[in-house]
Structure 1
């Protein structure tokens, strides 16, 4: 395992760090406002054009498939090229694809293959954007302030989720979904301009030698050498697939058939966003010592929305369940980002992040594509209960990995040094006791 000493780790001056952090946060808010409404709009654009649940699943799968195909390449490129350029190029692709999608929807009934192609292009942009963005954010904060910085960033981003989901649902109820897609295209354009001004001068130039395959192998060794990392990524390959099937396919259908249309589903997604905002606010002050244990315990409530849709609960109950799951996933998210920042060398952040993203979304295209056929085979309610059961099962399994239970936050003296390298070995509670939430 390669270990970078604190003295060797690049330090980002406070002025430059603050500027990058503000630009990244502002851009994330803008894209968050557009994207979360657009996700609702895409589903209802399919239904408006005469599609059914299977068609909604195919369009969702078309967006997710390029994530699986291109994430690893995107991570290697983001560690090789200036990360902000990769982010801007990805935003440009997303802007164009969403603008064309909006035009087709507003001009008339789009064909299913057209919607699948355009959402696939948008997914391709995300495949290159996500590893670059995560690496850029992590390299823009020091270890001492990392947990609070990540929580504040996610709180701002999730605040945009509240507005984006609620606004998207309201706009779709009042006008054509194409206008929501047009807003998303404009948001990507503005965010891309902001990200063009990011400063990457603090990131050392990559040494010559080694190609793309070499970078991928290096990232794989970094990934597979940490049981806590690959086990949680494997867990989330199932969790994300189950959540995607429930919320991207079954959620809009339940809203249409049981809740009265898109507006209640927009409110439910906004409640989830409010929960993530509350979870991020909590994590600005709470620094659990055993980060991964607390985070993993908070994954169990992600089964609640699937169960609520299976019943189904009416709008108030569904919103409450979505709020609780939002709080819990944000606790996990901040704990996870803090762990990666603490344990992974800066030069490999994007590659490791790519393996993280790849594993997490690997099963999502299959899950969304099969959601419609599974509904026809066993019924919607049974399919949703199955999603909830899978989340509980795999989350319980990952608690058997010792590093997940024992990995702890680095001491303050280590954090003050500003190192971004992994500690070796993983620290554990000396008494071996299992911590608990609360």
Structure 2
């Protein structure tokens, strides 16, 4: 009997579905648990407002504190994940969130200050985990299967946002709000303990550069990839304008134009359903010009604000949100996969932290500015402007060097 050669064994491993890999399944469980916990906190606190255990102003303060903790911790988490073990960073960051969450429950109805402080720690844990999870995925999963792995992860997040609101509301009928918060603490504990150890560990060094110098090294690494800077700029523009505008305008249009909240609920559900479809498609689809295809998917978000400009049939609005949801995953998964492939492994977490810091960290700024802009210039003008930005920003990014395939190799081949 012949023995398979190492190359044959490696090829067989690459053909095996990533969903059968125990290491990835542990990582997937940890990432999914952190995603559910992240989503659940504002929803559960919203239930507390309905129960009059927390005021609307208090809710705003607590969620703002969590956002501040996230924004501050993202770059620090990226630095630590490149300096030390990515697995250890996930462990301690998620443990911090797990310990702080019960303090939010303890302050409910008695101390907004305690809740805000604890929420800031939870946000810091969330922010530190994000770049570490990204870098850990590149260590646990081999390159040919990373796109499938990233698609599986985003699929789980979308399923959560689709089914979890109803399940949480159902649980709230038999379980108190503090108990629900404690449940998210258990999710953070699972996120801390589930992921496996990565394939490589940082080499010990007697001398370390200051943190700001190492962060500057990460920025320089990002600048080596023009496609990354261009794509990040397009993503930031779409989230800060289009995503923010539709989040503010959709409830208003649903109420004032259609006279029902059904359009709001239908559009949000359609967006998530579209994202699920997009995750399934991109788990297998490998277009030749993957970067351009991804940027085309990102541009599809422009159909969402366009659908709100005129009193169209509700089916048109819902269809536009389905297309936007499909498009966002056609961008997200190749974007994460290309970053994991192209960026230097020892700087991956820092570059990923720059991604999260700009794209998602600036989203609250967009949300804060959209409402005053609508009051000053009108809803139609703001929606038109954001739709143009959603279409134009990815188109401009497609002109950057390496954008065709999200790779510097495109430059070398003359594409």
**Would you say same fold, with TM above 0.5?**
yes
**Equivalent residue of 1:405, what SS?**
coil
Partner of 2:38: 35
**Equivalent residue of 1:92, what SS?**
helix
Deviation at 1:296, TM superposition (A): 0.5
Q: Distance in 2 between matches of 1:180 and 1:266?
A: 23
Deviation at 1:21, TM superposition (A): 0.8
Deviation at 1:83, TM superposition (A): 1.2
Q: Any idea what the Cα deviations from partners look like across 1:161-218, whole Å, max 9, x if unmatched?
A: 32224434666799987665454333223322323xx223533535443322332122
Q: Distance in 2 between matches of 1:88 and 1:246?
A: 36
Deviation at 1:30, TM superposition (A): 2.9
* Structure 1 pair 324–255 and aligned structure 2 pair: CA distance change class (3 A): same
**Equivalent residue of 1:236, what SS?**
helix
Where structure 1 has 5 or more consecutive residues not aligned to the other structure, the ranges are 1-12, 409-422, 433-438
Larger relative contact order, structure 1 or 2 (CA cutoff 8 Å, min sep 6): 1
Q: Distance in 1 between matches of 2:115 and 2:380?
A: 28
* Structure 1 pair 244–191 and aligned structure 2 pair: CA distance change class (3 A): same
Task: Tell me which moved more, 323-332 or 63-72.
Answer: 63-72
Deviation at 1:398, TM superposition (A): 1.6
Find the partner of 1:18 among 18, 21, 24.
21
Partner of 2:151: 151
Deviation at 1:85, TM superposition (A): 1.9
* Structure 1 pair 286–129 and aligned structure 2 pair: CA distance change class (3 A): same
* Structure 1 pair 50–316 and aligned structure 2 pair: CA distance change class (3 A): farther
Deviation at 1:133, TM superposition (A): 0.7
Q: Distance in 1 between matches of 2:160 and 2:45?
A: 19
Q: Distance in 2 between matches of 1:44 and 1:380?
A: 29
Deviation at 1:69, TM superposition (A): 2.9
Partner of 2:198: 200
* Structure 1 pair 124–316 and aligned structure 2 pair: CA distance change class (3 A): farther
Alpha-carbon contact 2:81-2:89 (below 8 Å) kept: yes
* Structure 1 pair 125–407 and aligned structure 2 pair: CA distance change class (3 A): closer
Partner of 1:10: none
* Structure 1 pair 41–255 and aligned structure 2 pair: CA distance change class (3 A): farther
Deviation at 1:279, TM superposition (A): 1.3
Alpha-carbon contact 2:38-2:126 (below 8 Å) kept: no
Partner of 2:208: 210
Q: Cα RMSD over matched residues?
A: 3.9
Partner of 2:75: 72
Partner of 1:187: 187
**Equivalent residue of 2:404, what SS?**
helix
The alignment status of 1:291 with 2:290, answered yes or no, reads yes
**Equivalent residue of 2:194, what SS?**
helix
Alignment of 1:28-427 (within 5 A): 28-42=31-45, 51=56, 61-105=64-108, 107=109, 111=112, 117-168=117-168, 181-195=181-195, 198-200=196-198, 202-211=200-209, 212-243=211-242, 245-246=244-245, 268-308=267-307, 318-379=317-378, 382-405=381-404, 407=406, 426-427=411-412
